[in-house]
Amino acid sequence: MKYRTIGTDPKTRREVSVLALGAMRFGSETDEKTSFAVLDRYVEAGGTFVDTSNNYAFWVDGGQGGQSEEVLGRWRRSRGVGDEIVIATKLGARPLAPGTGYVDNGEGLSAKVIRESAERSRERLGVDRIDLLYAHIEDRTVPLRETVEGFAELVAEGTVGLLGVSNHAIWRVERARAIAAAAGLPGYEVLQYQHSHLRPRFDVRDAFFQDGSLGHAGAELLSYLRAEPDLTLVAYSPLLNGAYVREDKQVPPDYDHPGTPARLAVLREIAKETGATVNQVVLAWQIGGRFPMIPLAGASSVAQLEENLAAVDLELTEDQRARLDACS
């Protein structure tokens, strides 16, 4: 395994594995026995960075979520896992009532919600401190200052370490960070957005965000990261839920455009040259990228995890990386 540091403050920064494990489906679509097996193998391979959310996976049973955090908590207790494993979770998108969603009835990002939801996440995870806590989605009904101060209070109290943000417009990320900096408060240091080698169209609205671009790492976000090298991008859904390699999986509609075939062709060429899978080429390209990026990939079986783990040691040549970059 390889590692990189997230965060800048010596009190809260952490060294994490360059491949993060997504636990979204643990406890719901992936049963507990399989979830434990995947987690055990990930840790055995040197993995140290596990990602979840307080609303995973409310859409499976029409509830409010929390299954993933609960499974991680039981796994931690059964294995005696301590702070050597960095667990990141998110709040702000948990439905307020069963049978609803976060778009029409989400908990939001008020100071009250931040405090109460973080406390419940700590209870489910069985931790005294959440290593990395994200603002999951935007809440434009709450002043940014209130959200910034709400998160900062938890860091000051020691119940949260690093702060992150996901699926926000970049201008709001920068404004929140500026508010924090001006007040001498901790701000967002880790950004989690969907990012893969294929690029989506940003004029296609999806089911999750009113502005379909908010969840994707587009040109504006990538430019922002290049200008802010202390920030880290955690790239979720890097493998597009199997669309790269499974014949029964189609690329999402917003990826169905004239630029996609050329990118797929280069990926397949390099996979053939290296003897790797297309999935492994995508992950290796992200891990060795031009700015700090950590792919966040889920696994519903140990076999899937093994494929992902092998990408850590896949070394792309300068020519191969240049060809991938040229069409990205």
Asked if residue 57 lies in contact with residue 90, where contact means CB atoms within 8 angstroms, the answer is: no
Contacts of 135 (CB under 8 A, 6+ apart): 90, 91, 92, 109, 147, 151, 163, 164, 165, 166, 168, 188
The active-site residue, picked from 56, 102, 193, 255, is 56
List the Cα angle 122/126/127 in 5-degree steps: 65
Question: pLDDT at position 217, please?
Answer: 86
Distance CA 202, CA 221 (A): 13
- Give the residue from 173, 25, 54 showing the smallest Cα distance to 118: 54
- Give the residue from 94, 96, 43 showing the smallest Cα distance to 72: 43
What's the total number of domains in the chain? 1
Question: Tokens for 106?
Answer: 């989400």
Kindly give the confidence (pLDDT) of every residue in the chain, 328 residues in length, as a single tens digit, with 9 standing for 90 and above.
999 999 999 999 999 999 999 999 999 999 999 999 999 999 999 999 999 999 999 999 999 999 999 999 999 999 999 999 999 999 999 999 999 988 889 999 999 999 999 999 999 999 999 999 999 999 999 999 999 999 999 999 999 999 999 999 999 999 999 999 999 999 999 999 999 999 988 876 655 555 555 688 888 999 999 999 999 999 999 999 998 988 788 888 888 888 899 999 999 999 999 999 999 999 999 999 888 899 999 999 999 999 999 999 999 999 999 999 987 5
Q: Is 102 an active-site residue?
A: no
Question: pLDDT at position 206, please?
Answer: 58
Q: Residues for the chain: how many in total?
A: 328
Contacts of 239 (CB under 8 A, 6+ apart): 196, 245, 279, 282, 283, 297, 308
User: What residues make up the domain containing 209?
Assistant: 3-326
Query: What's the Cα-to-Cα distance from 241 to each of 125, 167, 174, 317, rounded to whole Å?
Result: 26, 18, 30, 26
CATH number of the domain encompassing residue 255: 3.20.20.100
